[in-house]
Amino acid sequence: MMLLKVIGSDSHGNSYVLETESEALLIEAGCSFLKIKEAIGYNVRKICACVISHAHGDHAGYTEEIKKSGIPVLGNRQVNPTIELIHGHGYKSGGFRILPLSVEHDVPCFAYVVEHPEMGKLLFVTDTMDFNYRISSLSHILIEANYSDEQLERNIESGLLPVSLRNRIVLSHMEIGTTVDVLNSMDLSQVTDIVLIHLSSGNGDAANFIAKVQGATGKPVTVAVPGLMMNLNKEPY
């Protein structure tokens, strides 16, 4: 059995754990190592590796703490020049097979395809304005749904958000309509669950986003919040 544990999934810090009885993979290092240890019952030796999408602090801020614990940290050159992942080149750690795919952000950034015998194939996509790959035989999808155009414009018009931030958000994060389009472009026949990650607290709406994605895909949809635990079944529901 594979468990997904969400430690953090917003601009304050992002970290996720994929965990079996014997091993675990940490995705992102944007939450304190104490919170990460708590999430896995302080059994740090279970963690095969930590994969990081990009070097921004809310995704990589605790990289050095994780390195000091002896856990291999994997990512692009900005994240860790010692163990540098290359776009399209697979990496294996324990029972996890990891494939990095370059995506569009304001710094070099990877999405990841992660495979494991106990969960099948998982797609992890965050901090990108779009995702132009088509991945076959997916069982699980963790995908960014950061903001809605309508809510962003309302916040700018009301003065809650500086106009200067608009371009950065639009050019480096995934809008809910784009999330829906990306999902609709994929073969979801084997997908058992979709988890929306990295929602903006001010420019997003969890209930609305769930309704939109569920309506478009017909799949169970969850929003990632700290403390969320999910059983990632291998077989379709």
Give residue limits of the domains in the chain.
Answer: 3-226
**Element housing 168 (H / E):** helix 166-172
pLDDT score, position 236: 56
124-168 pLDDT tens trace:
999 999 999 999 999 999 999 999 999 999 999 998 888 888 888
Asked whether the beta carbons of 143 and 123 are under 8 A apart, the reply is yes
pLDDT score, position 97: 98
What residues in the chain have per-residue pLDDT under 50? 237
Provide the whole-model pTM: 0.96
Residue with tokens 């990841």: 112
Asked whether the beta carbons of 199 and 145 are under 8 A apart, the reply is yes
The helix/strand/coil state of 61 is coil
For the chain, the straight-line distance linking the first and the last C-alpha, in angstroms and rounded, comes to 15
Nearest-5° Cα angle at 18, 17 to 22: 115
Compute the CA torsion angle 202, 204, 206, 207 (nearest 10 deg): 110
Residue with tokens 């494991």: 116
Strands 120-125 and 140-144: parallel
Instruction: Quote the CA–CA distance of 36 and 140 in Å, as a whole number.
Output: 22
> Who's near 215: CB < 8 A, 6+ residues apart?
none
Strands 13-19 and 3-10: antiparallel
CATH classification for the domain delimited by 3-226, as one of 3.60.15.10, 1.10.10.10, 1.20.58.220, 1.20.120.50: 3.60.15.10
pLDDT score, position 109: 98
pLDDT score, position 233: 81
